[in-house]
Amino acid sequence: MMLFIDTVFLSLITTFIAVLFGVFFGVIFEKTTLAFKHTFLILFTLPLLLPPYITALSFSELFGEWLFSFKGVVLVESVIYLPIPMLVTFLLLKNINSSHEDSARIFCPWICVLQKITLPLILPYLFLVSSIVFILSFGNYSVVNFLRYNTFISKIFVEFSAFYEYKSSIILSLLILLMVFMILWFEKNYIKKNYATLFYSSRFKNKNLIELKNFKYIIFTFIFVLLFSFILLPIITLVINSASLSNYIKAFELVSDSIYRSIIYSSIGALIITLFSFLIALIIKRKQLHILDFATISFFALPSSVIAIGLIYLFNNSITSFIYSSPIIIIIAYILKYSALSNRIFSANLAQLPHSFEDSAKVLGASKIYTVLHITAPLLKGSFLLSYFLSFIFLLRDTDMTMLLYSAGNDTFAVKLFTLMANSPQEMVSALCVMMLLIILTPILLWLILRKIF
């Protein structure tokens, strides 16, 4: 029980720091005239792209023994998960009705408008995202294992991995479900009551950028120092450790087939998750079926190994072995595990849509499906894109579930990287890590281009 409470405390601190900095960066990168802000946005997203273990590894080269502590875990996890609240804040602020802020600007300066109007308006939605960050931190095993810090999840892991005790792992996982239930109860009774309709800017939409004036140099330097210390330097260390181009060539020869598989599984999985989550978010909103929210969050919170073993028992039989021995089982696992994040993104955005948008379509004779396809979905373009790319990233870097579910000879890049880590030369491992980063960066750049177009 103490271990559970300790882990909750660790996750709360991590979530607080990740959300604090994430919102700060989201505000700066969306609402100010800071130079290179979109470049900063991409770079701060980088730690999310790598398997958490790799980030911990690169930090350990820089920070040494100090990192192997409570503070170290908080630092690494905060850096890894900060991009989530940052990107969501960015999206929310992009869509906010500027007349809310304009009316406040009559009375007070920007700092006051942010404090009293903008941030309170988006706060309920940020809580939705914070609960995702909390659950990610709570359920993270690879970072705490690397940093040798015992948590509740490591206990479940030990039951599985050291002693093959599934029953006790499953019983321990019930505590996680209880925690999820409490989070959702709090959300329903205190947070969702405060949703405001923020949707879409007025015709003066781009005029609400904050001029930083004298503060621009201080803020720029502060952000750059953070970026360099916690993002760029670890990545540069990886690049330096990879030593030479020949390592990349050797690495590519080793992993080229698994890269192809990873991209296919992740692309298709992300698409299915995005569509599925949109549907679920719609059903939850229209039918108030909160049990679906509970289900998606529960699967998100459960240890990957519990889900994977469950799927093996369910699908590894003569009738469904065609599913089990194909990539379909991996896609199913991804949908179960990662729908919650996309669901939250859609839920936050759907809550912003005025009811009258759909009502007027209904009055004009549109069926429910027609309304969804032609009114609701197009208005959530940003959410579709964000959901797809976040899902793609999480799927591409997944190892725990994929390791247990992939069929022999069909490993993914993340799994191959992990299996090669043991006793491969350090330069090779570093080259593989850099390659993973490059592969994941490509859709990010694509996302930015698509955002400009749409």
Partner 1 sequence: MKYIFVVLLMIFTFNGCSKNKQNENSVVIYVSEDRVFSEPILKDFEKKTGIKVKALYDTEESKSTGVVNKLIAEKNNPQADVYWANEPIRAEILKQKGLLAKYISKNSKTIANNFKDKDGFWCGFSARARVFVVDKSMKNYPKSVFDYLDKRFKDKAVIANPLFGSTTAQISAIFVKFGDEKAKLFLNGLKKNGVKISTSNGESADFVVKKRYAFSLVDSDDAISRIREKKDIKMIYPDQRDGEMGCFIIPNVVMLIASSKHEQNAKLLIEYLLSDEVEAKLALADCAQIPLHEGVKPPHELKALSDIKVMQVDYAKLAKKLHEIEVFLKEWAGY
Partner 2 sequence: MIKLKNITKQYDSKKLFYNFSLDIKAGEKIVILGVSGSGKSTFLRLIAGLEKVDSGEIYLDNKLVSKDDSILVDTDKRDIGFVFQDLALWPHFNVFQNIEFGLKIKKIPKQKRVELVKSILEKVNLRGFENRAIDELSGGQKQRVALARTLVVKPKIVLMDEPLSSLDKDLNLQILDEIFTLQKELNFTLLYVTHNKSEADFLADRVVTIKSV
Nearer to partner 2, 14 or 376 (CB): 376
Per-position x/- string for 41-60, each x denoting binding to partner 1 as judged by CB under 8 A, each - no binding: ------------x-------
CB-based contact 396:442 (threshold 8 Å): no
Nearer to partner 2, 9 or 357 (CB): 357
Q: Is 115 in the site for partner 1 (CB under 8 A)?
A: no
- For residue 28, the minimal CB distance to partner 1 (Å) is 37
- For residue 132, the minimal CB distance to partner 2 (Å) is 27
- For residue 452, the minimal CB distance to partner 2 (Å) is 17
Nearer to partner 2, 14 or 371 (CB): 371
Q: Is 268 in the site for partner 1 (CB under 8 A)?
A: yes
Contacts to partner 2 from residues 341-400, by CB under 8 A: 354, 356-357, 359-367, 370, 374-375, 378-379, 381
Q: Is 99 in the site for partner 2 (CB under 8 A)?
A: no
Q: Is 426 in the site for partner 2 (CB under 8 A)?
A: no
Nearer to partner 2, 161 or 367 (CB): 367
- For residue 370, the minimal CB distance to partner 2 (Å) is 7
CB-based contact 212:34 (threshold 8 Å): yes
The count of residues interacting with partner 1 (CB under 8 A) is 54
Nearer to partner 1, 28 or 301 (CB): 301
- For residue 156, the minimal CB distance to partner 1 (Å) is 9
375 binds, among partner 1, partner 2, none (CB under 5 to 8 A by kind): partner 2
378 binds, among partner 2, partner 1, none (CB under 5 to 8 A by kind): partner 2
Nearer to partner 1, 40 or 299 (CB): 299
Buried b (16+ CB within 10 A) or exposed e, 282-296: bebeeeeeeebbbbb
User: Phi-psi region for residue 295, left (φ > 0), alpha (ψ -120 to 50) or beta?
Assistant: alpha
Nearer to partner 1, 162 or 363 (CB): 162
Q: Is 326 in the site for partner 1 (CB under 8 A)?
A: yes
| SS3 sequence of the chain | CHHHHHHHHHHHHHHHHHHHHHHHHHHHHHHECCCCHHHHHHHHHHHHHCCHHHHHHHHHHHHHHHHCCHHHHHHHHHHHHCHHHHHHHHHHHHHCCHHHHHHHHCCCCHHHHHHHHHHHHHHHHHHHHHHHHHHHHHHCCHHHHHCCCCCHHHHHHHHHHCCCCHHHHHHHHHHHHHHHHHHHHHHHHHHHHHCCCCCCCCCCHHHCCECCHHHHHHHHHHHHHHHHHHHHHHHHHHHHHCCCHHHHHHHHHHHHHHHHHHHHHHHHHHHHHHHHHHHHHHHHHHHCCHHHHHHHHHHHHCCHHHHHHHHHHHHCCCCCHHHHCCCHHHHHHHHHHHHHHHHHHHHHHHHHCCHHHHHHHHHCCCCHHHHHHHHHHHHCHHHHHHHHHHHHHHHHCCCHHHHHHCCCCCCCHHHHHHHHHCCCCHHHHHHHHHHHHHHHHHHHHHHHHHHHHC
Q: Is 423 in the site for partner 1 (CB under 8 A)?
A: yes
- For residue 121, the minimal CB distance to partner 2 (Å) is 17
Q: Is 317 in the site for partner 1 (CB under 8 A)?
A: yes
| Region near partner 1 per CB under 8 A, out of 81-89, 217-225, 305-313, 349-357 | 305-313
Per-position x/- string for 157-196, each x denoting binding to partner 2 as judged by CB under 8 A, each - no binding: ----------------------------------------
Binding site for partner 1 (CB under 8 A): 3, 53, 65, 142, 145-146, 148, 150, 154-155, 157-158, 160-165, 260-261, 264-265, 268, 305, 308-309, 312-313, 316-318, 321, 324-328, 399-400, 403-404, 406-411, 418-424
